[in-house]
């Protein structure tokens, strides 16, 4: 096998793994939306995509992890998006641009994300998993904000506060998006949230 053929085979295998992972996520979300969390087993999820339970565990440690899936962008991906914004852009605007880019990524998987949000709303016991992931994201983005502003993390509280507010704004935009069944673009809802923050959250 030539080097080119080896690279193609490796690429094909990686694509197949991604497709299998996505199929398991979709099956988990669809079944739990229909039956509830307690009414779905790992065996049910695997059977829905014609795989064994053993294969399921090659991708996810539990059915709850399959429901969370890949989640939004990783902390490092968000940091990279923030770092890519020119240094002369004000912090809140830079965070809006970072959040808008993430919203556009989520929008591309609209149906899956709306289903995932529905499942999480119906099964509050899953929320701690999102909170755990969000804590690490806030830490990484906060450190990037500290570097951007030249403020030492853990001193003034500014990097931590503006990052926490940003994450809250994004969550609210996601909730509004879900409640409207995705009829409004998520990026527009993110922009609206940041516009309110920039205005000082005046009374409606």
CA-wise closest residue to 175 among 165, 186, 166, 161 = 186
Task: Give 19's contacts (C-beta < 8 A, 6+ positions apart).
Answer: none
Percent of the chain that is helix, strand, coil (3-state, to 5): 75, 0, 25
pLDDT tens digits, residue range 133-183?
678 889 999 999 999 999 887 788 999 999 999 999 999 999 999 999 999
* CA separation for the pair 83, 204 (Å, rounded): 33
pLDDT tens digits, residue range 12-57?
788 888 899 999 999 999 999 999 999 999 999 999 999 999 999 9
Contacts by residues 92-97 (CB-CB < 8 Å, ≥ 24 positions apart): 92/162, 92/194, 92/197, 92/198, 93/194, 93/198, 94/148, 95/141, 95/145, 95/162, 95/163, 95/166, 95/194, 96/190, 96/191, 96/194
N-term to C-term CA, the chain? 66
pTM of the model: 0.81
Q: What is the mean pLDDT of residues 179-190?
A: 96
The pLDDT of residue 72 is 53
Scan for tokens 């806030």, then name that residue: 138
The phi and psi torsions of 193 (rounded to 5 degrees) equal -60, -45
Give percent above pLDDT 90 in the chain: 70
Task: Give 68's contacts (C-beta < 8 A, 6+ positions apart).
Answer: 126, 129, 130, 133
* CA separation for the pair 97, 81 (Å, rounded): 8
């Amino acid at each position: 096998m030539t080097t080119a053929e080896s690279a193609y085979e490796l690429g094909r295998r990686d694509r197949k793994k991604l497709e299998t992972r996505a199929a398991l996520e979709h099956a988990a979300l669809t079944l739990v939306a229909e039956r509830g969390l307690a009414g779905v087993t790992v065996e049910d999820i695997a059977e829905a995509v014609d795989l064994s339970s053993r294969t399921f565990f090659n991708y996810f440690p539990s059915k709850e992890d399959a429901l969370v899936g890949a989640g939004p962008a990783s902390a490092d991906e968000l940091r990279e998006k923030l770092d890519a914004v020119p240094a002369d852009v004000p912090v809140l605007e830079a965070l809006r641009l970072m959040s808008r880019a993430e919203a556009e990524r989520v929008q591309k998987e609209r149906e899956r994300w709306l289903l995932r949000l529905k499942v999480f709303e119906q099964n509050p016991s899953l929320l701690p998993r999102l909170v755990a992931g969000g804590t690490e994201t806030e830490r990484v983005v906060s450190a990037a904000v500290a570097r951007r502003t030249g403020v030492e993390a853990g001193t003034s509280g500014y990097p931590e506060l503006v990052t926490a507010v940003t994450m809250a704004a994004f969550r609210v935009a996601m909730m509004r998006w879900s409640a409207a069944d995705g009829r409004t673009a998520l990026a527009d809802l993110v922009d609206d949230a940041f516009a309110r923050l920039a205005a000082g959250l005046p009374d409606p």
